[in-house]
Structure 1
Amino acid sequence: MNIPNLSGYLNQFQIFIKIAETGNLSRAARELGLTPSAVSKSLSQLESITGHLLINRESRPFQLTLDGRRILQLAQRVIADIESIADGSRLPGMQGETLRISCSLAFGCTHIPRLSGDFQALYPGVSIDVMLDDRFINLEREDIDVAFRITSEAVTQNDDAEPLMDIRWFYCASPDYLRRHPPITVPADLRFHHCLVYPQMTHEGKWMFRQHAKSEAVAVTPHLSCNSSLLLLQRALLHGGVACLPDYLASHYIHGGKLVRVLSEYDPGVTHQLQARIRHSAKENKTLRLFLAFIQNRLTKNCDQTITPRDTNCEPYSQ
């Protein structure tokens, strides 16, 4: 009877997961403390075992093939199961357990589909019930295990809350809007523009601008005002004006060139925080703890890259 070398498979799985995360053999080797040749050899061995090419070596960064994505899900599930057994976080009752979560409309629509899907790929026995609501709700009354909320209030020692990541805000608009309107070189120029206003980011009807130690307030007339930054994002993408948007919404479109930061040398002077507010009676729920650890790890990885201000030089303004 041939006994498979399980430890070898696990090492190959771990290396493959790191290759998928970094999209680069050299970077994966660096983060794992291995040589690039060792990482390349491990990948080739895994491809030989599975009988499939797992990455497209012609693309930079590497892209997973269809078989590669399938093997990645399997590898992640195996590694996560082993880790949860090792730290005692896998409960017998986890199969068929339901996590009830609440979050804002904007964060829920943009992040929860992928985060919940990836978590359930690792733990298919867990169901997730999502309530989208911009209100601060009573977790006990609504029977919610955890609410993800963005707030400017710091977590205190007695809070049933945990910080997940900081949220920065950017003033931005579409390149097409900027081409068709007067240039914006100082905050006061915004008085002549369509301002898409999120009320919580104004102070007495003014947008705030901070540069170094100096602050400036500019009274803006809302062309459109809304309590959901998700709607303001969509209006900005439709060339509707200048909006103050959180980085978790705007960053993807800034990197893709669909939005441009305006007055990028300024910031609104306010930093918010994404927090997990946990129902007191659910604090010891190990499935919830596993979910929160997964969320924090994933958000940290996604937010490691800093947004560099894009060049805002556009075609000359024409009336």
Structure 2
Amino acid sequence: MNQSFELTPTRLRELRAFAAAARRLNFSRAALEVGCTPSVLSRRIATLEEAVGERLFLRTTRRMALTSRGEQLLAQWQRMEAVMTELAAGLRPPDGELAGHLCVHLPSNYGRYRVAPLLAGFLREHPKVRIEAVYDDAYVDMVAGKVDLAVRVGRLADAQLVARRVGTMRYFPCASPGYLASAPPLRDPAELKAHRCIAFSGYRSGTLWTFTRQRQRRPVRVDPVLTCNDAQAIRDAVLAGVGIGLQGDYMASGLVAEGSLVELLAEWQLPAHPVHLLWLPGADRTPALRRLIDHLAAALAQA
């Protein structure tokens, strides 16, 4: 490309001077528009005409008009201005309203019960934001998957991501009142061996349930009558009276409060799991993502 036709900052100043003069057909008024003197404006247009190789204006002492090449150049400039205006509007929505597309990766059940309502509230507050929510318990490569934000429960492994701890998820054993009505007493974790238990195959500890109380540690190997790889299925089995199962507080606390389930061994605790929000370094400079991170962090910290 000829060097003289590159859109350098100097060439853009010349084009703005030309466009102002072409619209107003008056160099003095055009100079006021672009913020320079009429003589500077005239020199810029002269330099542009030299680069183009054609006259852009026909001028007399009383009259001024565009040449055919000037009319063509003005139309091209106006098309470029329209594109730039549209681009600016897309980059910065009017009135500071949040906009954009965000991909959020969520653990299946925790995401469904605890995070999905928070996303719904965020979308009601910011209607121009679009969220793609992916519910999946598998690890996700946030770069390859084009994920903006991930919610993870448990231990973190990827030190290259920015992590913000937003809460803790607690597990506890529970059962239905119907099961407990005919079941043996349960005052100590060791007595679980006399009960029908439901185990989640996704736990690293499997059927080994380790309880603590102050300085006491009580590991118990249960013999499950049912093993599931889905927390929802375990909840349904516990509600149906099959036996005792471990449930996350996000799924079972409401059922305990309404009496559908009974929390057991309340003086003993199972290991809790930290909840983090994760994102790529620098990604939170995007206003919509930064606002979503703050929204989720505030809500999950209170849960």
Q: TM-score, normalised by structure 2?
A: 0.64
1:227 and 1:285, CA in 2 relative to 1: closer, same or farther beyond 3 A? farther
> Is 2:123–2:129's contact at 8 Å kept on the other side of the alignment?
yes
2:211 aligns with 209
Write the distance in 1 (CA, Å) between the matches of 2:187 and 2:283: 50
**After superposition, what is the alpha-carbon deviation per residue over 1:92-111, rounded to whole angstroms, capped at 9, x for unaligned?**
28655111101111012212
CA RMSD of aligned residues (A): 2.3
1:104 is matched by which residue type in structure 2?
P
Could you tell me how far 1:278 is from its partner in structure 2? 0.9
Alignment of 1:173-212 (within 5 A): 173-199=175-201, 201=203, 203=205, 205-212=207-214
CA–CA distance in structure 2, aligned partners of residues 239 and 204 of structure 1? 21
| Corresponding residue of 1:308 | none
Amino acid paired to 2:290:
R
Q: Tell me by how many angstroms 1:159 deviates.
A: 4.1
Q: What's the CA shift for 1:224?
A: 2.0
Q: 2:224 corresponds to which residue?
A: 222
Q: Secondary structure at the match of 1:250?
A: helix
Cα separation, 1, equivalents of 2:221 and 2:283:
45
Aligned match for 1:102, one of 94, 101, 105: 105
Cα deviation for residue 292 of structure 1 reads: 1.2
Matched, 1:128 2:144: no
CA contact (8 A) 2:98 2:287 kept: no
* 1:144 and 2:147 aligned: yes
Report what 1:280 is aligned to.
281
2:167 alignment counterpart: 165
Partner of 2:115: 112
CA contact (8 A) 2:168 2:273 kept: yes
Aligned position for 2:291: 290
CA deviation map 1:158-184 (0-9, x unaligned): 642111101111111111111122221
What are the ranges of 5 or more consecutive residues in structure 1 without an aligned counterpart? 1-89, 304-319
Distance 2:267 2:204 in 1: 19
Q: What are structure 2's unaligned runs of at least 5 residues? A: 1-90
Question: Is this contact kept in 2: 1:101–1:128, CA < 8 A?
Answer: yes
Distance 1:285 1:251, change over 3 A: same
How many residues are aligned here? 211
CA shift for structure 1 position 281: 5.5
Deviation of 1:202 (Å): 5.9
Measure, in 2, the Cα distance between the counterparts of 1:202 and 1:216: 17
Matched residue SS, 2:143: helix
Distance (Å, rounded) in 2 between the aligned partners of 1:299 and 1:204:
27
CA gap of 1:204–1:233, structure 2 versus 1, over 3 A, is: closer
Larger radius of gyration: 2
The answer to whether the Cα contact below 8 Å between 2:199 and 2:206 also exists between their aligned partners in 1 is: no
Q: Distance in 2 between matches of 1:227 and 1:245?
A: 13
Rounded Cα–Cα distance in structure 2 between residues aligned with 1:144 and 1:259:
37
SS of the residue 1:280 aligns to:
coil
Deviations 1:129-177 (A, max 9, x none): 1111001110111111111110134997x64211110111111111111
Tell me the TM-score normalized by structure 1.
0.61
Percent identity of paired positions between Structure 1 and Structure 2: 26
CA shift digits 1:73-92 (9 cap, x unpaired):
xxxxxxxxxxxxxxxxx952
Whole-Å separation in 1 of the counterparts to 2:225 and 2:280: 39
**Superimposed CA distance per residue, residues 284-313 of structure 1 (whole angstroms, 9 cap, x where no aligned partner):** 222111011111222233x2xxxxxxxxxx
Taking the aligned partners of 2:266 and 2:202, their CA distance within structure 1 comes to: 20
Q: Is the Cα contact below 8 Å between 2:164 and 2:278 reproduced in 1?
A: yes
Specify the SS of the correspondent of 2:219: strand
Match of 2:151, SS state, is: strand
Deviations 1:24-82 (Å, cap 9, x if unpaired)?
xxxxxxxxxxxxxxxxxxxxxxxxxxxxxxxxxxxxxxxxxxxxxxxxxxxxxxxxxxx
Alignment check: 8 A CA contact 1:167 1:272 kept: yes
